[in-house]
Amino acid sequence: MKADAHIVPVKVYLGTFIGLVVLLVATTGIAYLNLGIWNTVIALVIAITKALLVILFFMHAYYDKGLTRVVFSVGIIWLTILIVLSSADVFTRSWTPVPRSWAPDIALHQNQK
């Protein structure tokens, strides 16, 4: 058991905690500045940083090698596929012209809106 155990120093936990609180204050404060699209970008970057702090130190992913990292990375990859491919479908629909023979369907669709 000893070989596998990661007893993380209290200092690391405290540092992680303080980092999380600082980032929480930062993201809340920045929301009150009007930065346009950057509001969203910065909020997401801070959220990802906070999540990484929790995963790496609180959840010990920084100390766990091998399988834990594989599983964790696979989760991120699958989530990325889910979001990116679904968005790619919806947001590129208008890029290509619809064949004429489909036109009645389109009219139907627009009526429903």
For residue 71, the number of C-alpha atoms closer than 13 Å in the C-beta half-sphere is 7
Question: What's the CA gap between 29 and 26, in Å, rounded?
Answer: 5
Of the pair 52, 106, the CB lying nearest other proteins is at 52
Minimum Å distance from CB 101 to other proteins? 27
Take residue 33 and report the two structure tokens written for it. 């500045």
For residue 51 the two structure tokens come to 């999540």
- 39 binds other proteins, rule: CB under 8 A: yes
Sequence-separated (6 or more) residues with CB below 8 Å from residue 28:
none
Q: Which residues bind other proteins (CB under 8 A)?
A: 1, 3-5, 7-8, 10, 13-14, 16-17, 20-21, 24, 27-28, 31-36, 39-40, 43-44, 46-47, 50-51, 54-55, 58-59, 64, 67-68, 71-72, 74-76, 78-79, 82-83, 86-87, 90-91
